[in-house]
Structures are given as C-alpha cells and as structure tokens.
C-alpha cells in the first residue's frame, strides 16, 4: 500500500534533515511529522486528530528509550495497528530481537550512504516491503 | 438368852428410893446388856467371816450375811436346808458331821462349795460343836474362802512347769547346736574334778572311746601350746570364762587345731562350781589362715622389690601394708597409723572421687584404678600417680586381700598434657590459616568480581563506544557524499579530492568500529553452545564470500567436517574471517586454493595439558597464499596487529583477534604456521566434549 502520512520519532537533527532530504529526493508525496522523543510522540499520537499510517522510531533517544515508546504504542488499542519501523544506528542482534519481540514491523539500520536511504524509503513507502505480515529486517543494500 | 431370877426380896420395907435406884440400876444393866447383845449380834451377823450353825440333822439353822454372800444364796434358800447339798464332796461332809457330833474339832477341812450359779468354791471349814447338858446343839462353822489362794497356787505350779519346760527345750537346742556345729561339749565339775564330755569332743581330740579320760585329752595338747592352755584355764577361774586356740596331737600323730570356750558357774558362796564349755576343730581355718599369711608374706616380698610404691589392704578396704618405696617418697613414718598416712599424701581435690571409686571396688570386687596427685616429701611437689589394685580371691571367689600399686606417671601425664596443648595450638593455628585462606579467597573473589565487572563495563563500554561512534561516522560519510553529489559542479578539484578523502576515511573508520564492535560482542554475552554442523557453516561461509571467490577464482576444498558444540553465528564469523583471509592474502596471479580438513586428535598428540577434554577436533585451513614469517605467528592474533599496510591489503587488524576470541569462547585453541611465499596453515582445535 502506499503510505501517505508518516511520523518520525528521532532526536538527531542531522538524521531529521537527511530523512526529509531523502523523501524529497524520491519525490514521495507524503505528509510527515517529526517529534524529538517518545513522550512527544505519544502526546501527538493520542491527541492528534489525524493518525499517521507509518511510524519510524529511533532507539537511542533521551527521556524515553525507543523500546519503551514502542511498548506503549503497542499497548494502546487505537495505535496498535500502526506499522512501526525501528530506524536506528544499532545493528545489534539483541536490539533486533527486542524490536521483533515488542511488535515492531521492521528494522532498518540507518545506512552509510544517502542513496541507500533513498532506496529503502522508496521501497517502504511504495509498499514493496511488506509490513503487515511478521517482522522484517530490511536488508542493507 | 440368859434368864436370871430375880434375887429374893428381903428389904421389903426398904426405902423406896433405894428400890427405885435398884430398879434404875437394873434397868441400866439391862440396857447395857441389850446394847452389848445388839453389838455382838451385829458383829456376828455382819462379820466378813462366813459363819453358820448346823444342827444334828445337818440342817443349817443360822448363817450370817457373809456366808450367804459367799455362796450367793438368800436366807430362805440357805437356812433350813441340808448343808450336804451345798458341798461337792457330799460323802466327805457327812463324815465331817459325824466327827463333829462326836465333839471333834475340825480345823481347815478342805472342801468345795457349790455356789448359787453352779460354780465350785474352794474353802476351808473350821468347826466346833456346842453341847449343852451333854446334848449336841449345833456346830459352829467358820468358812474360809481359799479360791484365790488356790488359783495362785495353780498359777505358780503352771509357771514352774513352763520354766522347767523352757529350760529343757534350751538344753535340747544347745545340744543340737553343738552337735550340728560339730562342736564338742564338756561339763567339768570343779569341786570333784569330774569331767563330762560329749562323744564329739572325744573325737575332736582324736579318740573314739567314750570313756577317754580328762587326763588323756589334756595330754594331747602340743607341748608348745600346753603352757598357753594351762594359763588360760588358770586365768579362767578368776575371769569367769576362757577362750584359747591350741594344737592337739592325735594318736595317729596328725596335728589338729582346736578352739576351746569355757564358762564358769558359781555356787551360793560365789565359788567356782562348774565349767561348761565347747570345743571346735578349727584345723581347716587355721591352715587356710596360715596359707594366707604365707601368701601375704610372699606378696609383700614381691611388692617390696617393685620400683613402684606398693600396698595391700584387707577385703574391707583398709590398708594394712605399704612398701618401703612409699615411705621413701611420702616421707611418712612407718609407725604412723596406716590410714592417716594414706590420707595425708593425696591432693584434696581428687581424693573424694578416689574414695568413691575405692568403695565401689570393694563392693563389686572389680579392679580399682584412679589417678591422683601425691605430695613428694623431698620437695613438696605434687606428682601424678596411677593407683591400681586388684583383688586376690580364693577358689570360691571370696576376696582374701587387695594388692595395690602406685606408679609415678607425672612425666607421661604432663607430656600428654603438653602434647594436647601443642595439638590444640596447632589446631588453632591451622584454623587461623584456614580462616586466612578463606579471607584471602574472599578477597580474591571480590577482586575477581571487580575485575569481571570492570571487564563487562569495559566490554559494554567498548560496545557502547563503538555503537555511539557509528553515529558521527555515518554523518560524516553521508553529508560528505551529499556534498559531492549535489555540489559536484560547484566544487573545485581540490575540494572534491578532499571530500573524497574524508569519505574514505570515514568508511575506514566505520569498518574499524564495526570490527571492534564485533570483537567486543564476542566477549559480551555468554554464548549458547548447541550442536553445530561445521559442514553447514562452511557452505554458508562460501556463500557469503561468493563475490571475492568469484573475483579471485578461488577454490575452496572442504573435507568431512564434524558437528561440534558451538554458536553458529560466531563460528560463521570465524570461518568467514579465516577463509576470507586465505582468499585475500593470495599470491598475485595465483588462484587461491583453500583446503579445509578435519581430524580427531587426543590431547596428548596435540601436546595440551591440564585441559578438561581429552579429545579434540582439529580443523586445518591451509592456503597457498603469501604466507608469513613464523616469527610473527603469535602477534597476528593480537588486536590491530597487521603485517601489511593498508595499501597492500585492506584490513582492520582485528579479524584474527576476533577469530582467536571466538575459538577461546568455544574452549578451543588456534595456531598459525606461516611459510613466507608458500602459504599459511591455521589449526583450530575444538574439544570433542565440553
């Protein structure tokens, strides 16, 4: 399916910039919002009139760790169904496992190359990467 | 009643006063006589002596109250009745009456009266008869109740009979006792020297003839003992009794011991009259005594010769002898009373216990053994002694005496004490060093824990550091890339070049950090060991290295590999590194050939000591690459140690360190052998059982 609205939960301004740059690069027609931490994310999610179709969730964030946020989102009946992609630097198998265990839909390591990021976003947003059936580790290119 | 006639009146013309006076006198006399008569009558009637009259027909004509009381009859029942019916012996009374009628006086004729309630009363009748004008009027009877006296007499007779009987009985008993004890008895009349002896006595003296004379008996006394006997007899006369023991020589020349007891009886003048006595044959006892004395003597000789102090005691526990050594040690005087001598020597603290034990030994007849402290006279020091005693018994099991010893055990005891002390000291020391050991162990464990903590901190630090380093690296790279891409046209050559350098540097840094991350990961979590098929691992490895295999046209030959306990992820990493190296470090223009073989070897064959496993899987990876100088064989496994610069061959310098770490984590070993210009061989050893 085509995702048209996104939420990015990441505290790193550089990563936020790169993300929007990538979106521009691939000419994705999506509305996207970003919040710098889990608390803000939950606030937005629970109060927004408009719920995003897809969430990109960083792990190493201040105040609330990404996994805590993931847990809480998944605990919320209204938000449970939103596919969440863990978007992080960490390639630790432990983190990958935890993400899977906590109900994330996919795991994407932040790539070294900018165009790799573009490629990944393209395939995700166009629905090439199946996000609703089981857990996917998005392969590095 | 006497009537007297009134005297003839010849004073008719007398003075009336004189007549009156005479009348009065006569009246007075009459009164007096009446009064006297009354008194006499009362006396007789109420006398306590039974009196009665009996007429010639034997009828009671009068009886006083006492008579009635004696028999219990009323006047009517008694008076007017024939006297005969009141006597038991009727014939006797008839006779009596006859005699009385003939004016005989009866004095104290014994008879038995029948009382009203049918009892017989012993009485004595005294009676005299009254005659008037030659005619029998009545008898005057006076009865004396002698029933009490009779009773007393009967009582006395009975007592006398009883006394006689008991004397007879005790005589019989004594005789029996003497006979039973096989004692001989004698009875010696001292006045006429007549000597009676029982048959048994005769036999005790060795004779059989009952008629053996006193003299003969005396002659049997042993000449040595005769004086003793004579003296005893002589003394007896003054003392009243005798007892002596002496030997007698029988006719058959055998010697026997006798014990003689004698007792004197005296006559009215307190002179010795008779001697009664018994004689016992005590030969057996005497001989036993002598044996005992002899034994005791022999025992004492032995005891005197012992180095210990020795003592003996009677069966009742009283000490009766100490050996010379006792007197020497204790400083006691031989003349001192034995018991006080004993008591003075022992230490008061243990003595009551020792006394208890001694009493027990006496009671039970069991050997006696205690330890006590005895004061030595020479220096006043108390020394430890072992006191022992054993009972000496006869054939019947009776204790004849106790023989005891006192052994100086001071050295042993103090030695034993010192030893015990030393032992307890050593034990204490040992305990102390054990505690110290435990302490040290604790310290060690603590240090260990700290080290582990540090290590894990370090590892996680490393991990976190690597992880966090990746962030900026990525950014450097990405943004540099973006500039290069987007500002291509605007950039000078130099700028482009510099940006490229920045990019490649960041890539290199990423690789290093990734490698480092890998390395740290291996130490971090405890790996789960599962049966892992190395054949599968190798196939995966080849797949992963497909690109470079293709590029270098490498040939990987893999033999039959075992299944080992391990972590597939790490083993994967291991073989990727090793085989990747083998391909990477190939000789230029020579296709790399990599051989992977497996063999089972014992620890002895390998030369491994002190390991838990005995058998190992040896995986041998041989290549035909550039090899290396064996000198560096150990170095290459160290972190960041490279034998080539990065221009020659790319690499982080961590790969082999990772390999080593993985192998170690699997409790195995890895070695490398290099032959410069020929190739390298990497040997991995995995234990067959972990």
Tens of pLDDT along B624-682?
Answer: 999 998 888 888 888 777 777 666 777 778 889 889 989 988 989 999 999 999 999 99
User: Considering chain A, what percentage of its residues have pLDDT values greater than 90?
Assistant: 60
Q: Is A18 on the interface with B (CB under 8 A)?
A: yes
Give ∠ CA B281-B284-B290 in degrees, rounded to 5: 120
The burial class, CB within 10 Å (0-12 / 13-18 / 19+), for B152 is exposed
Q: Is A112 on the interface with B (CB under 8 A)?
A: yes
Using CB atoms, pick whichever of A91, A92, A114 lies closest to residue B481.
Answer: A114
B576 pLDDT band (50/70/90 cuts)?
A: very high
Element (H, E) at B436: helix B410-486
Residues pairing with B220 in the sheet:
none
Beta carbons of A114 and B478 less than 8 Å apart: yes
C-alpha of B620 from chain center: 81
Q: What is the DSSP letter of B355?
A: H
Give ∠ CA B193-B196-B200 in degrees, rounded to 5: 145
Identify which has the larger pLDDT, A40 or B521. A40
Whether the pLDDT of residue B1 is over 50: the answer is no
Over residues B366-372, the mean pLDDT reads 91
The C-alpha of A32 sits at a distance from chain B's nearest C-alpha, in angstroms, of 22
**Alpha carbons B257 and B325: distance in angstroms, whole number:** 38
Q: Is B488 on the interface with A (CB under 8 A)?
A: no
pLDDT of residue A109: 93
Residue B484: closest CA among chain A residues belongs to which residue? A114
Phi, psi dihedral angles at B64 (to 5 degrees): -85, 175
The C-alpha of B478 sits at a distance from chain A's nearest C-alpha, in angstroms, of 6
The C-alpha of A113 sits at a distance from chain B's nearest C-alpha, in angstroms, of 6
What is the per-residue pLDDT across A64-76, written as a single tens digit (0 to 9) for each? Answer: 899 999 999 999 9
Beta carbons of B478 and A92 less than 8 Å apart: no
Which residues in A lie closer than 8 A to residue B467 (C-beta atoms)? 89-90, 92
What is the per-residue pLDDT across B306-322, written as a single tens digit (0 to 9) for each? Answer: 888 998 898 888 888 88
Which residues in B lie closer than 8 A to residue A21 (C-beta atoms)? 482
> Are the CB atoms for B306 and B298 separated by under 8 Å?
no
Assembly ipTM: 0.74
Residues pairing with A54 in the sheet:
A6
B15 pLDDT band (50/70/90 cuts)?
A: low
B7 pLDDT band (50/70/90 cuts)?
A: low
DSSP B646-658: TTTS---S-HHHH
Which residues in B lie closer than 8 A to residue A88 (C-beta atoms)? none
Two tokens, residue B249: 């020589």
What is the per-residue pLDDT across B594-610, written as a single tens digit (0 to 9) for each? Answer: 999 999 998 888 877 77
User: With the CA atoms of B426, B430, B433 and B437 taken in that order, what torsion angle do they form, in degrees rounded to the nearest 10?
Assistant: 170
Two tokens, residue B81: 């009745």
Using CB atoms, pick whichever of B474, B485, B525 lies closest to residue A89.
Answer: B474
β-pairing, B106-114 vs B120-132, is antiparallel
Distances (CA, A) of B527 to A25, A91, A96, B258, B522: 43, 18, 17, 112, 8
For B157-184, what is the HEC assignment?
Answer: HHHHHHHHHHHHHHHHHHHHHHHHCCCE
What is the per-residue pLDDT across B274-292, written as a single tens digit (0 to 9) for each? Answer: 888 889 899 988 888 888 7
β-pairing, B255-266 vs B272-281, is antiparallel
Beta carbons of A89 and B470 less than 8 Å apart: yes
Phi, psi dihedral angles at B391 (to 5 degrees): -85, 145
Two tokens, residue B641: 């140690």
The C-alpha of A90 sits at a distance from chain B's nearest C-alpha, in angstroms, of 6
Whether the pLDDT of residue B10 is over 50: the answer is no
- In the A/B pair of chains, how many CB contacts fall below 8 A? 31
For chain A, what is the HEC assignment?
Answer: CCCCEEEEECCCHHHHHHHHHHHHHCCCCCEEEEECCHHHHHHHHHHCCCCCCEEEECCCCCCCCHHHHHHHHHHCCCCCCCCEEEEECCCCHHHHHHHHHHCCCEEEECCCCHHHHHHHHHHHHCCCCCCCCCCEECCCC
Give which of B171, B279, B173 is closest to B233, Cα–Cα.
B279
Over residues B79-94, the mean pLDDT reads 85
**B553 torsion bin: left (phi>0), alpha (psi -120 to 50), beta (else):** left
B526 pLDDT band (50/70/90 cuts)?
A: low
**Alpha carbons B161 and B277: distance in angstroms, whole number:** 27
pLDDT of residue B8: 53
Residue whose entry in the numeric block shows the structure tokens 């024939």: B82
Two tokens, residue A76: 């919320």
**Alpha carbons B480 and B323: distance in angstroms, whole number:** 121
Give which of B600, B571, B619, B606 is closest to B688, Cα–Cα.
B600
Over residues B236-243, the mean pLDDT reads 86
B458 pLDDT band (50/70/90 cuts)?
A: low
Average pLDDT across chain B, whole number: 86
pLDDT of residue B400: 85
Best residue of A17, A97, A114 to probe chain B, by most B CBs closer than 10 Å? A114
Structure pTM?
0.39
Whether the pLDDT of residue B92 is over 80: the answer is yes
Give ∠ CA B74-B75-B80 in degrees, rounded to 5: 125
Whether the pLDDT of residue B200 is over 90: the answer is no
**Alpha carbons B492 and B371: distance in angstroms, whole number:** 116
What is the per-residue pLDDT across B437-453, written as a single tens digit (0 to 9) for each? Answer: 888 888 888 888 877 77
**B480 torsion bin: left (phi>0), alpha (psi -120 to 50), beta (else):** alpha
**Alpha carbons A39 and A43: distance in angstroms, whole number:** 6
pLDDT of residue A43: 92
Residues pairing with B52 in the sheet:
B63, B141
pLDDT of residue B525: 59
Whether the pLDDT of residue B589 is over 60: the answer is yes
What is the per-residue pLDDT across A41-93, written as a single tens digit (0 to 9) for each? Answer: 999 999 878 899 999 999 988 888 999 999 999 999 989 999 999 999 888 88
pLDDT of residue B2: 46
């Amino acid at each position: 399916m085509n995702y048209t609205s996104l939420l990015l939960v990441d505290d790193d301004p550089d990563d936020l910039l790169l993300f929007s740059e990538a979106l521009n690069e691939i000419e994705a027609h999506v509305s996207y919002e970003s919040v710098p931490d889990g608390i803000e994310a939950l606030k937005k999610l629970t109060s927004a009139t408009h719920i995003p179709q897809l969430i990109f969730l960083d792990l190493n964030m201040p105040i609330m760790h990404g996994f805590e946020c993931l847990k809480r989102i998944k605990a919320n009946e209204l938000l449970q169904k939103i596919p969440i992609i863990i978007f992080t630097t960490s390639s630790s198998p432990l983190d990958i496992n935890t993400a899977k265990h906590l109900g994330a839909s996919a795991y994407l390591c932040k790539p070294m190359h900018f165009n790799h990021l573009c490629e990944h976003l393209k395939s995700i947003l166009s629905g090439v990467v199946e996000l609703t059936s089981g857990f996917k580790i998005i392969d590095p290119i | 009643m006497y009537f007297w006639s009134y005297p003839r009146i010849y004073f008719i013309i007398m003075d009336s006063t004189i007549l009156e006076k005479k009348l009065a006198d006569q009246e007075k006399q009459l009164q007096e006589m009446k009064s006297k008569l009354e008194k006499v009558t009362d006396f007789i009637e109420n006398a306590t002596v039974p009196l009665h009259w009996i007429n010639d027909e034997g009828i009671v004509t009068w009886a006083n109250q006492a008579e009635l009381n004696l028999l219990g009859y009323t006047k009517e029942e008694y008076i007017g009745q024939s006297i005969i019916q009141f006597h038991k012996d009727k014939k006797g009374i008839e006779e009596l009456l006859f005699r009385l009628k003939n004016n005989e006086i009866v004095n104290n004729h014994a008879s038995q009266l029948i009382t009203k309630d049918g009892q017989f009363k012993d009485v004595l009748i005294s009676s005299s008869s009254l005659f008037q004008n030659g005619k029998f009027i009545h008898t005057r009877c006076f009865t004396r109740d002698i029933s009490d006296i009779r009773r007393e007499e009967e009582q006395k007779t009975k007592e006398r009979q009883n006394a006689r009987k008991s004397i007879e009985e005790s005589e019989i008993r004594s005789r029996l006792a003497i006979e039973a004890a096989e004692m001989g008895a004698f009875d010696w009349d001292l006045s006429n020297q007549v000597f009676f002896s029982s048959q048994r006595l005769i036999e005790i003296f060795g004779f059989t003839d009952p008629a053996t004379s006193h003299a003969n008996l005396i002659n049997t006394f042993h000449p040595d003992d005769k004086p003793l006997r004579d003296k005893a007899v002589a003394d007896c006369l003054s003392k009243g009794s005798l007892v002596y023991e002496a030997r007698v020589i029988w006719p058959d020349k055998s010697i026997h011991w006798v014990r003689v007891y004698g007792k004197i009886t005296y006559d009215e003048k307190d002179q010795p009259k008779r001697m009664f006595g018994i004689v016992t044959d005590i030969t057996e006892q005497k001989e036993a005594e002598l044996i005992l004395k002899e034994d005791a003597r022999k025992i004492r000789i032995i005891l005197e010769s012992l180095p210990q102090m020795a003592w003996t005691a009677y069966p009742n526990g009283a000490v009766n002898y100490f050996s010379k050594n006792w007197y020497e040690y204790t400083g006691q005087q031989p003349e001192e009373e034995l018991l006080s001598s004993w008591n003075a020597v022992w230490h008061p603290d243990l003595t009551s216990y020792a006394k208890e034990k001694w009493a027990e030994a006496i009671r039970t007849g069991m050997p006696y053994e205690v330890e006590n402290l005895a004061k030595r006279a020479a220096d006043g020091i108390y020394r430890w002694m072992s006191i022992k005693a054993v009972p000496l018994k006869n054939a019947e099991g009776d204790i004849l005496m106790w023989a005891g010893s006192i052994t100086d055990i001071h050295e042993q005891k103090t030695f034993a004490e010192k030893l015990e002390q030393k032992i307890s000291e050593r034990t204490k020391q040992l305990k102390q060093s054990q505690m110290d050991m435990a302490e040290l162990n604790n310290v060690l464990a603590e240090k260990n824990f700290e080290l582990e903590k540090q290590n894990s901190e370090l590892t996680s630090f490393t991990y976190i550091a690597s992880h966090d380093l990746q962030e900026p690296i990525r950014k450097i790279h990405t943004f540099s890339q973006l500039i290069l891409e987007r500002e291509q046209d605007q950039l000078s050559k130099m700028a482009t070049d510099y940006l490229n350098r920045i990019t490649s540097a960041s890539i290199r840094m990423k690789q290093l950090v990734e490698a480092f991350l890998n390395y740290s990961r291996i130490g971090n979590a405890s790996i789960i060991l599962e049966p892992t098929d190395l054949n599968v691992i190798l196939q995966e490895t080849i797949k992963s290295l497909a690109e470079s295999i293709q590029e270098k046209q490498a040939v990987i030959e893999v033999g039959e590999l075992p299944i080992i306990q391990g972590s597939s992820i790490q083993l994967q990493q291991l073989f990727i590194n090793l085989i990747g190296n083998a391909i990477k470090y190939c000789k230029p223009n020579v296709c790399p050939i990599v051989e992977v073989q497996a063999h089972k070897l014992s620890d002895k064959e390998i030369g491994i000591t002190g390991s838990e496993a005995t058998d190992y899987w040896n995986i041998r990876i041989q290549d035909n690459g550039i090899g290396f100088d064996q000198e560096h064989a150990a170095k290459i496994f160290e972190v960041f140690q490279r034998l080539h610069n990065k221009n020659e061959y790319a690499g982080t310098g961590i790969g082999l360190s990772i390999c080593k770490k993985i192998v170690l984590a699997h409790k195995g070993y890895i070695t490398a052998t290099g032959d410069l210009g020929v190739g390298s061989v990497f040997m991995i050893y995995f234990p067959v059982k972990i």
